[in-house]
Structure 1
Amino acid sequence: MTNPQDPYPGQQPGQFGSYQPNQNPMAAPPLSQSELGGPQNLPAPQPVQISFWIWVATAVLGVIGAVVGFTQRDAAIAALRGSASVRGLTEAQIQAAATVGVVVAAVFAIVFAGLYVLFAFKARAGRNWARIVLTVLTVLDVLSLATGFSVLAGISALAAVVALVLLYLPASSQFYAASKRVR
């Protein structure tokens, strides 16, 4: 007669299918160290790294543009005086409109700069959604050139386009696909 803990013929003790007296039969197998540590960060390829630094430079150009914009208040006042749409406004109203315009433009430039840096960090970490958001921001940046062109804004938009192209190169696309599989 056989003991219930004895293995089947040809089966080693402790092999699959045999019950171990001090073991929970419903327990999950133990996790490896890599599984306990969570997803491993993949190193970003060179085009993504270069793109990251171009985004940072674009953000710096945006902040510089905001500072330069504050110095352009007098030019904005002169442009408003020459505009047919402001006929009948007092000098104080024209100056207030110019001040508001300069401040709003500076706030938008600083917000855009912050968003560029935030999403550049996420894109460098392999987040594909950040690459898509940067695409939208770049399109908005390029479209904003239609409202008024300056050399600084043109350089900034060109840098954003170059950084964006780097994020869509084949090596970058493979990085984003691999990052998604790891998560």
Structure 2
Amino acid sequence: MTNPNDPYAQQGGYPQGQQPGGYPQQGGYPQQGQPGFPPPPPLGHSDTAAAVKPAAVDTAYLLWLVAAGVSILANIIGFFTAQAILEQTLGDLGPEFRAAIEAQGPSYGGIIFSLIISAIWVVVVMQMRKGANWARILLTVLGAISVLFGILGVFVLFSVGFLGIIQGLLALVGYAAIVGGIVFMFKPESNQYFKAS
């Protein structure tokens, strides 16, 4: 006999688990862990190896951070060498151009812009380490441009004096770190990591 207060009691003449129209109350699909549903296959070696970050990516990461740190330090020194670079440049100009440029003074905008770019650079390097291929490509393109055009400016720094020489040497160390970072980002094990990510 059914109790009218029993919330689980069968109602009105329909068989248990059926609604009017003959549809089951719940989906008739087996769920994982139920009989008739096979367990998922175990992860293969290639599945687990793809998630492991190779040492070459960590080395590239460290080299890019060294390059960013050296760039920041060189730009800080650039605040002190900007006037000497301006005077070096003005030495080759005629008196009318010299007076016009001296009135403006040294330009610190490029140095400030470089410091901002260095901060963004670190963010992109962090994304590269996580396996973002777009970050690897961006670092490669901008790093190559930085090295190519930066080497031209290093020769001016060596003629400015002691701080210019220090700034030039720091720039060369930074360029070497950039080239090393690019090389390590494209080693075969790094390529596999970026393809799997």
TM-score (norm 2): 0.65
Max Rg structure: 2
Counterpart selection for 1:62 from 45, 63, 71 = 71
Offset from partner CA, 1:109-163 (integer Å, 9 cap, x none): 2133123211111111111111000011111111222441122211111100101
Counterpart selection for 2:57 from 34, 45, 48 = 48
Counterpart selection for 2:153 from 136, 141, 148 = 148
Q: Which residue of 2 aligns with 1:81?
A: 90
**Runs (5+) with no aligned partner, structure 2:** 1-14, 16-21, 33-47, 155-167
Residue 96 of structure 2 aligns to a residue whose secondary structure is coil
Aligned-partner Cα distance in 2 for 1:169–1:54: 14
Whether 1:21 aligns to 2:30 is no
TM-score (norm 1): 0.69
**Runs (5+) with no aligned partner, structure 1:** 6-18, 31-39
Counterpart selection for 1:96 from 76, 99, 104 = 104
Residue 72 of structure 1 aligns to a residue whose secondary structure is helix
Aligned-partner Cα distance in 1 for 2:99–2:24: 93
Root-mean-square deviation (CA, aligned residues, Å) is 3.0
Q: How many residues align?
A: 149
Q: Is the 8 A contact 2:58 2:129 kept in 1?
A: yes
Offset from partner CA, 1:23-42 (integer Å, 9 cap, x none): 246x8x78xxxxxxxxx993
Q: Which residue of 2 aligns with 1:176?
A: 194
Q: Is the 8 A contact 2:68 2:121 kept in 1?
A: yes
Aligned-partner Cα distance in 2 for 1:118–1:156: 17
Q: Is the 8 A contact 1:65 1:152 kept in 2?
A: yes
